[in-house]
Structure 1
Amino acid sequence: MGKVEGKVAVITGATGGIGFEVAKRLGKDGYTVILNGIDDKAGAERIAELTSEGITAEYYGFDATNDEAVTENINKIGEKYGKIDALINNTGGIGVRARFEEMTTAEYKFVMALNLDSVFFASRAAIPFLKKGENASIINYTSNAAWNGAGPGAGIYATSKGGVQSITRALAKDLAEYGIRVNAVSPGTIDTPFHAQIKATKPEVFASWKSSVLLGRLGAPEEVAGVISFLVSDDASFITAETIQIGGGQALGI
């Protein structure tokens, strides 16, 4: 893949973990990268780090689950640059661990908003600007949980990711006439702060996860970023409505 010039990528939830590695990789590819997050201090630190590496980057602080804030900020970005070439809907997470019987309505709504509403709000706002982009595309994040229902306490997370799987295909159909591609990645167990609590409190559980991975190790966030770099590139110009597993064979359930 050659170096791109003049392209703009928006990455939600990008002040750490996989999201930041995606921003760094796309920045090195030549994109102007727009990072979103809710931790303004971390946002400023990430921008300083990217800028020091010669990457053109900006930070917009807003909650990706707030439709008005998403629309307002995506509009600002789109109007400033005149287009958006790639939208990476990186915001998401387990959110709340609770069995269905014990889960409150507020907890249910929070997890669905974090993983599914955020995709809808950002995609809806970005579409007018993606139409002006070059080989424009949207990347969403699903999970093995979308297929296997996840473990006890993560059922609503699985439900929300099942929704992401569906909205990816639906958006691909909806936007194909404009040449906008929509794909998803499904990361396996990636060694990031996302798993920090388990790693610190139950190291034996964290270590055991490796045994479920065909390649015998956990993934690195850079490996997810590399796949996303490909999916938004011209090399993937005939790929849409697909989900790429990035889990070292973990989906086989060995």
Structure 2
Amino acid sequence: MKKIAMITGATGGIGLSTAKILGKAGYSIILNGIDKAQGKDAEKTLTDLDIPVDIYYFDVTSEEAVNEGFKEIKAKYDHLDVLVNNAGGLGGRSRFEDMDTAFYRKVLALNLDSVFYISRAAIPMLKKSESGSIVNFASNAAWNAGGPGAGIYGTSKAAVVTLTRALAKDLAEYNIRVNAVSPGTIDTDFHKQIKETNIEVFNSWKNNVLLKRLGQPEEVGTVIEFLVSEKASFLTGEIIQVNGGQDFL
């Protein structure tokens, strides 16, 4: 049976790097994103590597959009072996005193609701796999509560940690393992604005990392490859820190 992996928010950054790594490991890839121009580039990148790929454009923060998107996916694919809930983001910064409810809801939807909606829709397909696997994305902020103005981001990622463990308990009887990666500061477009406007601050971030450098997207992707493989067959409910020792300092 052909191995199939779905990755959300995968038109760039860690998501696309993970798609390349899993594709080279023999998976057919289902990409999700919302930026069609970026999606076409991602699709071409994988196709040029002879990796089978389909891309579905829908907003993972919308329950209706996720359910409609999965109708299309299920019409073509009869099962799913791997789900990587990569979609998420900072969503902006706001101190709690000044935070409006719309911003609060937006960040929770981006990082928590999306994982719930996608996982719920994917579980029937994962049950048809011989050994299904879900990998969610936590963050250093789940433990340190984020920097100034990123408190609700940290809160949402802490919720993903608990959701990961809850899903692991819920799905163990179906031989579906659920784990999460918790990246530190990774050099992706997530930090594009600060990199372009204040390179000195960006470069200083490595001083907060024990290994004195920022991580690369591939260094997260290879951990995900391990987590979904048979080499990790006795791992579930775990949160793997990928941060170069950043949480030590």
TM-score relative to the length of structure 2: 0.98
5 Å-filtered alignment, 1:69-218, equals 69-218=65-214
The one of 10, 33, 46 aligned to 1:37: 33
In the alignment, is residue 251 of structure 1 matched against residue 244 of structure 2? Answer: no
Query: How far did residue 72 of structure 1 move?
Result: 2.0
Which one-letter code corresponds to 1:123 in the other structure? Answer: S
Query: How far did residue 75 of structure 1 move?
Result: 3.5
Q: Which runs of 5+ in 1 are unaligned?
A: none
% same residue: 62
May I ask how many residue pairs the two structures share in their alignment? 249
Distance 1:59 1:34 in 2: 6
Distance 2:40 2:130 in 1: 29
Distance 1:12 1:171 in 2: 18
Which one-letter code corresponds to 1:103 in the other structure? Answer: M
Q: Which runs of 5+ in 2 are unaligned?
A: none
TM-score relative to the length of structure 1: 0.96
Instruction: Please name the residue that 2:217 is paired with.
Output: 221
In the alignment, is residue 65 of structure 1 matched against residue 38 of structure 2? Answer: no
Matched-pair contact (CA < 8 Å) for 1:90–1:140? yes
Matched-pair contact (CA < 8 Å) for 1:8–1:34? yes
Query: How far did residue 133 of structure 1 move?
Result: 1.1
The one of 28, 48, 61 aligned to 1:52: 48
**Structure 1 vs Structure 2 CA RMSD:** 1.0
Distance 2:210 2:177 in 1: 30
Task: Note the alpha carbon deviations across 1:49-105, whole angstroms, 9 max, x for none.
Answer: 211110000110000101111122223323422101000000001002010011110
